[in-house]
């Protein structure tokens, strides 16, 4: 006769001083427990977060131009930001890497993780070889991943091998900052809060003036064992320059063409 299987405890060890406080026990799902384990591992990494403010006027104008001409294939702001983020990684490969005790592993492709909020918890499916995709293709890839997350159509292969992650809490609500824990073994994560309309100074010298513009303040969290603040700021500077000088002719094409040599 087989040995009896131990039943899962039906009571929790409640925190000290709460023994008399009425409560309801809500069992954690397997995904939530897995997320908790991953976050504990991430919290052990010494990380810092750097923030910048970007004027989104040029990017939003390019998006409006695209969407007006392609009503059947409209693109989200996230697709444009992903394209700019990937292009900046090609300039700053130390952010598209993993840290080990003896070496930095600089990945030759950008497998872009996209954090997606789902009813079952946070998942980070991966867009593979994102440097080979233009903004339109990235938009299709993100839409496909989101639909498969909602329809439980992801596979294990969709969730592994990421080299850099983009988190977009601004899509959930009007967050002011997007600091996040890293997604090990990656050394960088770009958090995207909500868009805001604020007064900013534009122009220079005698042409300087204040205008109300749409801005975004992305947060770059990085592994301080692998990188110092200077490299993080240089990445954000490159990203900001791309966003503030958007041109559809430049960014519809991939960040890296198949006929180019891979660094």
The residues assigned a catalytic role are 224, 228
The structure tokens listed for 127 are 């867009």
Q: How many CA atoms lie within 13 A of 172 on its CB side?
A: 16
What dihedral do alpha carbons 23, 29, 31, 36 form, nearest 10°? Answer: 30
Count the neighbouring beta carbons within 10 Å of the beta carbon of residue 24.
Answer: 4
* 240 in Cβ contact with 52 (< 8 Å): yes
Three-state SS at 189:
strand
Count the neighbouring beta carbons within 10 Å of the beta carbon of residue 199.
Answer: 10
Q: What is the spatial distance between Cα 15 and Cα 19, in angstroms, rounded to a whole number? A: 7
The structure tokens listed for 88 are 């900046």
């Amino acid at each position: 006769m087989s040995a009896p299987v131990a039943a899962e405890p039906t009571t929790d060890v409640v925190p000290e001083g709460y023994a008399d406080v009425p409560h309801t026990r809500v069992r954690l799902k397997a995904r939530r427990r897995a997320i908790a384990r991953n976050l504990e591992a991430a919290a052990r990494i010494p990380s810092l977060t750097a923030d910048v403010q970007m004027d989104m006027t040029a990017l939003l104008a390019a998006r409006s131009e695209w969407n007006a001409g392609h009503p059947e294939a409209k693109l989200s702001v996230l697709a444009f930001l992903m394209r700019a983020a990937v292009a900046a990684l090609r300039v700053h490969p130390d952010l598209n890497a993993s840290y080990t005790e003896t070496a930095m592993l600089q990945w030759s492709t950008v497998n872009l993780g996209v954090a997606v909020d789902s009813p079952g918890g946070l998942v980070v499916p991966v867009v593979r070889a994102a440097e080979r995709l233009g903004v339109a293709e990235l938009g299709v890839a993100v839409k496909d991943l989101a639909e498969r997350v909602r329809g439980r159509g992801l596979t294990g292969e969709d969730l592994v091998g990421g080299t850099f992650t983009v988190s977009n809490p601004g899509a959930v609500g009007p967050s002011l900052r997007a600091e996040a824990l890293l997604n090990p073994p990656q050394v960088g994560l770009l958090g995207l809060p909500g868009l805001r309309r604020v007064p900013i100074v534009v122009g220079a010298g005698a042409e300087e003036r204040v205008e109300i513009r749409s801005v975004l303040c992305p947060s770059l969290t990085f592994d301080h064992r692998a990188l110092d603040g200077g490299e993080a700021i240089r990445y954000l500077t490159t990203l900001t320059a791309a966003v503030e000088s958007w041109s559809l002719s430049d960014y519809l094409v991939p960040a890296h063409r198949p006929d180019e040599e891979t660094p």
